[in-house]
């Protein structure tokens, strides 16, 4: 992304500008998707600890069983 930003700032990029902008958009979208996926994984990891052990799992046995099935 940094290289594409550098290319985009150069005046000789005019013939390639649409391609550079397209690639910058693509890389940005991929980066956003990876960031969201990492956030989901972090939240899921927190749910695993909640539903597999502790008082919450004992207080919510049905939900705990459902979560264990989904997690498997």
Summarised one tens digit per residue, pLDDT across range 10-54 is 999 999 999 999 999 999 999 999 999 999 999 999 999 888 887
* pTM for the model: 0.70
In a domain, 50, yes or no: yes
On whether the CB atoms of residues 1 and 31 are closer than 8 A, the answer is yes
In a domain, 65, yes or no: yes
Residues whose CB is less than 8 angstroms from the CB of residue 63 and which lie 6 or more positions away in sequence, other chains included: 51
Give the structural domain span for 58.
Answer: 45-72
In a domain, 24, yes or no: no
On whether the CB atoms of residues 28 and 2 are closer than 8 A, the answer is no
Number of domains in the chain: 1
Positive or negative CA dihedral for 30, 32, 35, 37? negative
């Amino acid at each position: 992304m940094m290289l594409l930003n550098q290319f985009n700032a150069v005046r000789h990029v005019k013939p390639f500008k649409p391609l550079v902008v397209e690639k910058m958009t693509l890389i940005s979208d991929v980066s956003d998707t990876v960031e969201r996926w990492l956030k989901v994984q972090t939240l899921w990891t927190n749910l695993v600890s909640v539903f597999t052990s502790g008082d919450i799992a004992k207080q919510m046995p049905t939900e705990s069983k459902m979560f264990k099935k989904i997690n498997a």
